[in-house]
Amino acid sequence: MKKVFGKLVILFLVTFLLVATAQHQENAMAHITYKTVKGKIYLSRDSGQTWDSIHSWFSNVTYISWSRQQPEKILAVKDGNIHRSTNSGKSWTIIKFFDEGLHPAKLFHAHDVGSFAYYIGYRLFTGGRIGSEMWLSHNSGVSWEQVWRGNEAIFDVQRDEMNVNLLYFTTSEGTTWCSTNRGFYWQQANDSNERIQK
């Protein structure tokens, strides 16, 4: 009986330590954040109280984004292309090249679904018209696919607070587009016919 009780105590202690360690790691990750200053990335592990520079050679960064669930995975737009780090910026890999005609406009994560990332770029056409493209990654930036393209500028993408699958944005032409599957397919709002541009 004593042996059984001893094993139960050990099992309880091991479980307690594992849970406590996981909670500590989760709390530590919640305090990690990044920012860019003059094209360089800075890391904070204490919710912005102190900052450390990430590699001075990795510069000319225009946008950064990261998963709150896995903050060591960072995406950055540098020289118009998307770079990815899986170790808090210690090393980087170019994962998506864009042609010179596509200019970066925004890069962001869906923070409640950390593996989903979005990239918006714009093109300048003759006569001053602007076209936009939206690219989506569902695996933390490993691969990307174009999910929207149009001859108008995309304004800020918004997420429905009550439904994580619902996204929408407006354009410079005054149209509103929505997606009910986190951005894979888009249709004009209040339009019974699906009008996806890809």
Q: How far apart are CA 36 and CA 42, in angstroms?
A: 6
Q: Is the pTM of this model over 0.85?
A: no
Query: Which is more confidently placed, 56 or 42?
Result: 42
Residue 20 and residue 65 in one domain: no
Structural domain that includes position 98: 33-188
Q: What is the pLDDT of residue 179?
A: 93
65-118, pLDDT tens digit by residue? 888 888 888 999 998 899 999 998 989 999 988 888 888 888 888 755 567 889
The verdict on residue 126 lying in a domain is yes
Number of folded domains in the chain? 2
The verdict on residue 51 lying in a domain is yes
Please tell me the number of Cα atoms within 13 Å of 193 on its side-chain side: 2
